[in-house]
Structure 1
């Protein structure tokens, strides 16, 4: 058997001696492969203690004889131009799975070769590995090493008994890192060889199982782009054979580049979402404030309604009491006159009774002259003429209250049915069951009656306005009106001076002198010029139209045919600004109901294409 002396070359390790069968011997075992055991005869160890290897030498030897890819003893070790060695199969497989645009990379130092290097067998390492293998692969491990720096340490026991993941497995010192390929805990001193070889190092507490392939138990060094999975070198020969495989460091760098490219987009998205979130928060705050303001406003209106009702009831009670006192005073005077007459009649009757009781003719006749004289002195009876006093009739006041109660009842029913829908979601059309509408025009006139007056500054030049500002008449010639921005130029129309933005309002229009007209309402901001300034031809106006003896309802250029049994001469309009509703009446029946949500104040409006149209003067 041969002997490797101290002068024999060995790469990156301290010289040591070994012999076979009784001589100094070095036996190596890594993982399930043969491990290294250094032992000597006790006498020779005592005499040659200066040449004994330290525990750190063993760690260096293990690393030098282990492939950094498969973590096993070299099989046909091959050296690269950079000086690092690998199993020929390991390095060639790693290069076979490289991407087309990447060079040939050393898996240790990451040096890139533009062309595939010529692989040469590392003869020294190969011989050393072969000499360290025992016959038939059987191993007997006994390690007893004197570590001069750390004291007497049984390295074999230290590697096993170190157990705790806070101690170096070579010297029992405090562990700084764990080497993944070697699966060993090292202190700062014993860590340097692993750092020089570029081994992957992790914190001592990291579980090494998570960094090894579950299937083969080998270090994870590669990444499959097709399956997006981590893998070891052995995995490359299986289902990943034709996949795009790169080193984990390259995949790590590429993924970081991808994330860095997406980072601005994510940041911008975060800013956008944050902006929307702020808007939602502002809207929530605005909604809270709006709701609070609405509740306060309703409380105030409720107080005013209660005050109005109480004042109305008190006023009616006062009026009732006043009328009662007036009538009682008249009745008292009549009672006094009647009582006086009754007293006079009693006295006459008493005198006559006394005279009639005297049965003697002579005596009666002697006293008759005096009796008649006394009767004459009494006031002549005259019946009192009673003037019929007016009956205390409060039906009118009661009807007014009944109308108010009915309107409030309808208002509550609408609230209970739910909020008013958006006008775009409500199909406009005639009311299907007009008889169910509980709006009475008489009550509307008394409670909400208005008498709008026309605005001459808005009248078309072919429309003449009466002096009382209630009648609009179509003329054949243009009137001499001065220029005004509110004047209609293209349509024969005029609007009212009255402007409604809240509350409830009712008015009537007399159309008996016209056969073609348009009547309704429009927003104060509706245009006065151009083709879109016609009533009913834009989103800002709602109106009824008569032409060719046909009636239609118009809004935003959409027409709805109306079925009328006759030809009404007067039309009523009830505007409820609180719910955004315009109810149109004809012949005491509901013809059509418009729903709207105009934020601008609205005005009654008239279009006259022949004859005259007149705003009716309503007296509450």
Structure 2
């Protein structure tokens, strides 16, 4: 820790590197001779000179004094630093190939450590990092060192360009100051690219997880299909092959889409990494020219990383198989939708009706499993969550996973069974108002009226609807992550009624509507 502190004390506050030929102002602060020379040059026009460290003012250009002791210490520390990577640029004055540490723009010569110490420190001798390309460091017109940056024309110029040349009267600043501003912009760009890269990496991780889940789910689907057809024989071979082919297509299509997305993300991540590396390199340079050139935007191209969805859905495939099996009358006793077809993972048998949400027009049983339309208004306390129409929610919320439960229903005129967010409107009075299950974007339901039924909202569901009397028992299946809600008529045979597809954004509660002496009962 102590050696690190000493190392910091030997850094020039202008270039932030170890002192090169350190000199001292009368205020006692030290700088590289070339660095303080550039600073004082930039202050010539103002006529007032200040120390970059303590801001002490001098009425005349201050005299600098060489600090021999500090110079010896800096040279010894420099000799103990790790050798820099060979740049391929060698000292002009050495007979042997000795790597250069500085290039003088005035002399157009590269210098090693030994010759830098002996080199002239006058203002016109500008030392920069070793380079073989000097043409772009000097003005093409006046052959003078580029010292200023013209803001109006956005280019580097020499003193003659500013005083008597094409840039006369333009607003300029010292080239080092301009480079620092560019570095600041580059660092901001670097942070933005870093955040974008992190987002891409997160998306890649999600794609990996999604692909693994789909593969696992599809593998389970293959087992279900094999079990379903184990006792049917050759008459069902065509249906079996079709189902397995669809599942194979599901796996293949999802794998291809996931691979494309991951490849796209990798391409853009590589581009971002390359740009970030370039920015880090530019920010570490002391030579301002390549730093300013590095601000020009680099076209990273547009890469589409939108999610791609598969054409098939596993439950659709299984339902198609079930329909074919029932049509051929070869199932023989397959009446339990839950057990035979593996339609759920969690059986929701602990659903109760929430009395705090029940309308005063709805009567609830003591065990909170039955809701019925009541001609007598209950005198429940007013609560913000209570419905004004004949509706009630369940106490259990589903925010993830797959769930299945069953509901017995009356054959009387009107009831609705479904799911709703807690944020559903509670205050509408009319039956077809905003708060009715399925009449808003906060709920989905299966609606039965006088022997006819439909699923609402229509735009997000598929399945049959129309006349189908005597629905005595419903099976409800929810796959939250897949955005799937399905309704089945239970009996012999089991019949698929409707399926909603949506992106669920809030926890879902079982929801029930009863009217005209209708009732529903949650099965235990």
- What TM-score do you get using the length of structure 2 for normalisation? 0.44
User: TM-score scaled by structure 1?
Assistant: 0.39
Of the two, which has the highest radius of gyration? Answer: 1
